[in-house]
Every structure is written in structure tokens, then in C-alpha cells.
Structure 1
């Protein structure tokens, strides 16, 4: 029997060990994502035979087992667990490598469906920091215009200025009339959990001001300790400052993420505007995600 438990800050070293063993780039499979979104998705985890197992109650699914242990046995355990619970054995947000591994082990015992809305956008840190070259001409112009127009300042997120990040988030909600939106409420819960565990999860963020007023913030965490990839979880800005989103993105990556090679800005959730924006930054990798479902 598998005993699942909620994700605790003290689980981070062991989760990182599992992720490091499988060289993860999948944004869902990071300690920070598992921890901050667990209330929204009912995420619980278990460590079994050197594998991390993760269950999402509200999604009715599992994540791909990861770690140095036996993947075949881990998948079989979860299929048996699902049968005992009387539910479907379904794995969501499975990256292409995970999907191919399961298909090699189990063949047509599972179905494999690409979930384009869940694909991760992964960028070169150098590209986002410098915006060099013709491909980034428009982005570079937006940033340069912002810097020339406003009296701005940038600073890393610290325990002291977290309240001002939350001010930006609240004002963004008010201006967009979405404070009561269900998804926004879930995100606010995740933001709260993120800042509560900011230091423990290795969080990093950036805060942008205009004439001293906080107008944008961005924040995230490494894929795991020692990873070359940083995951951006949140980005909020007051859009009446032209170029503010492009500027907080560039300043954060340039000033705060110099020790990473890649930046994962997560998925677009099928939102047309968000997809267009993420593609416009020329990702070096669009990491495919799949839904893998046991047949029978």
C-alpha cells in the first residue's frame, strides 16, 4: 500500500534528489510547483523504492514517477493503486522522454495523447538577458523605450519587499476585475505559499519600481538544487506602463539569473494571447507534454 502525504518544506532535499537523478526540465516536477500548488490540485506525494510518486486528487491523475529507482515497478504500483481506489490510472503533464519510457515499457497498455496547452516554454538565459539580434528587435525596443521614459529602479525580491509584490498582485486583480475569479483565487493561494517558503525553496524574484512605486514583480525557483534551469512561476505588472512586462522580464533574467543556462516560463494553458507572447520570445525548446492513460 502506498502512503501519500502532503508536500512539506522538509521534503525538498529528497525531492531534489529524485529530480536530479532524472535530470528533470518538466515544470510540474519541481519542488516549488509541487509545494505551492498542492492546495489547488490536492497534490500528495510518496517516496517508494527510490522513486517520487505524486498524486493529484482534484485532477484525478498522477505525475510521472521520477528518481533512480525502477520506473516499471513504480508505474505498476500506481496502476494497482488506482484499481484499488476504483479510478482510472492516468498520468498528466508527462514530458516526451517520460512518455517514450512508458511506451517502451508498456506499449499499447496505455494511450498517449499530446496536450499542447501544457507544453513548457524553455528559453536561453542569455537570449532573455541580452535580447540581442534581429529576432529580439521589437522586445529590445520596448525595453529601451520603457527605460528612457520612466524613472525606474530594479531590485531583487527579499523578505522586506514581499509585501510590495503582493500590493502589485492585488492592484493587478483590481484593475482587471478578476479578484473573485476562481483561477485567480487559486493563484493567490499559490503566491502566499510561495512567499511563505521563499527562502527554503531557493526562491528568487525581481521587483520593478517607477518613481519608487512598485509596478511589476516576477518570481520563481530552480528546477532543483544544482539545476541549470530556473522556473518562473509568477509575473504581474501594471500594464499602463508601456513595456513594463518586457522590462521586468529582461531585468530579472539579466540581474538575478546569471548562474542559470535556461529559463522555463511554463505553459500557455491554451490561452491565445499568452501563447503568442511566449512564442514571441523565441523559446529554444517547446517541451511537449502528454496525457498517458492505462487501458482497462
Structure 2
């Protein structure tokens, strides 16, 4: 904590903050993708996140679409009301921002509202992260996963798919696989451009962060790739999942293969939000999530 300045002073988020960040996120019970070191250092427009503290709580400063400052937190341990009051005061006076806490994970929003009364509360359903039990996705047992098991069996029977772990020494080959995927399936969607940038920034740190991933090959052709990285002590984020669209059921196979490759400590998988995309929402709901990491904005 000694190298993290007291808010409103800040410092750039670096790898040396990873353990501190993960401990604070775990202590608060947060499972949100946006609070993972992976996201904070790879998904951004012009600058990565900055970090500061208020007593024993932490504040993250991330860039909005139009620039400016979006403050995440304060999260961790210790009294929450004085930390929120200080954050809101400096956000308004020093940064020219509204007295608003954006996209709070549900558990943090509830902790704040237990001690303070906001003037307005808004839930952002399109940005709720889907949470799953890793063991359920790896076993696919029971009637609710019958169709998924049938798809997996068909792929194995017809294609003899091979599952290969992602290794750091193969990083250039992995980048090449992604380049081919975007050439074949990409379009003018600006989200895909940001995703490509994120992968370039994040993949070199995957193994340093304790992450793991897999590739799925059929007859030496790469047909799927995915990886996961810890958010907290029991929750891992799945930020990347790509597959050959012409191979029916390959996305489901990649999902299953990754879940089977992860350690037992990865009890819960955060498979991100559906962004309000109807087809994506349907696909995520079919895998029977155990719940959501809500996103809530509070005005004061």
C-alpha cells in the first residue's frame, strides 16, 4: 500500500499492484470484469487505469469514451462512508466530474446504500456479467446440459478435435491465429478493433497473471481458442473466446475445453456481459448461470 498514493493523488496501475488489487477485490466480494487487472491494463482508449487509496480502500480511475475520469470504488476493507464522501468531493472539486459512482458491482453498491442514500439508482442490465460454476461447465451433467453434451460428442466423433494448452513460447503463433480469425470473420465493428488492441496488450501478461488458455485443433487447423485469468481468489474471467464459425458447435466445445483446463481454485467463471445483444443473451442464458455481477450507478 505504501507505493499507492492517497486520493486524489494517483499513480499508473502496474503489475506490482496486481496482488493488492486482487486482495481488495476478493475482500469486497467483487467478481466484475472491469475490476480485473487484465481489463484495467488492456481495455482502454488512450490511457490505462490509475490507482489511489482512501485509507484501506482503493479507487481506480479509468478513461471514459469521451475522455475524462470514471472512478471505480472505493473497494476493499475499512469504513466505507467516509471513503465515498472523500471520493465524491474530490471527483467534483479536483476533476470536474459529477458526484456519481458509475457501474458499481452489485455487492459494492449494496454496501454503500446500506450507509448512504443516493438521489438516484440505475441498474445496467446489458452490462451484467454472467457468472457460472466452472465445475458445471466442465462436467455438463444433468438434463439441463443434455444438448451441450450431444454437441460435444458429435464434434469428437466427426472431427477428432485436439485440445492444446496455450504456451508463452507460442505467442507469435497465437497472434497469427487471431489475425487469421479477424481477416476471415471480422467486419467494421469498432468493438472488434478495440478487442484486437486489447489482445495485443494483454496476451503477453497472461501467464504472469496466472492465467491459462487452450487451443482446439482439427487436422492441424486451429478451430478455436480461449483463455481465462483470475479476478479474485475464486473467480476467473473469460475475456477471449474465438472459434471457426463454419464448424457447428465449436464455440460450445471451446467453452467446455477451457473449463476443463482450469484449476480447482477457479470455482466461478465470469463470462462477461451480453451488451444487450439478443442472440448473445440467449446463448449465455442457455448455459444456466448461477447469477450475475450486477452493474449499478449511484447519484448523490
Match of 1:94 in 2: 104
Deviations 1:94-152 (A, max 9, x none): 122211222222213x4111100111111111210011111111111111111111132
Q: CA deviation at 1:42?
A: 4.9
Deviations 1:31-56 (A, max 9, x none): 22222224467532213312110122
* Distance in 1 between residues matched to 2:228 and 2:11, nearest whole Å: 24
* Distance in 2 between residues matched to 1:189 and 1:5, nearest whole Å: 23
Match of 1:16 in 2: 22
Cα RMSD, aligned residues only: 1.9
Pairing 1:275–2:285 present: no
Structure 1 residues not aligned, in runs of 5+: none
Match of 2:157 in 1: 148
TM-score, normalised by the number of residues in structure 2: 0.90
Deviations 1:5-54 (A, max 9, x none): 22211111221221222132222222222222244675322133121101
Equivalences for residues 101-180 of structure 1 within 5 A: 101-108=111-118, 110-178=119-187, 180=188
Asked whether the 8 Å contact 2:45–2:63 carries over to 1, the reply is no
Q: CA deviation at 1:188?
A: 1.3
TM-score, normalised by the number of residues in structure 1: 0.91
Asked whether the 8 Å contact 1:28–1:93 carries over to 2, the reply is no
Name the stretch that deviates more: 84-93 or 190-199: 84-93
* Distance in 2 between residues matched to 1:37 and 1:232, nearest whole Å: 14
Pairing 1:244–2:250 present: yes
* Distance in 2 between residues matched to 1:211 and 1:189, nearest whole Å: 29
Structure 2 residues not aligned, in runs of 5+: 1-6
Match of 2:190 in 1: 182
Asked whether the 8 Å contact 1:7–1:38 carries over to 2, the reply is no
Q: CA deviation at 1:195?
A: 1.1
**Pair 290,41 (structure 1): closer, same or farther in 2 beyond 3 Å:** farther
Asked whether the 8 Å contact 1:112–1:293 carries over to 2, the reply is yes
Asked whether the 8 Å contact 1:168–1:238 carries over to 2, the reply is no
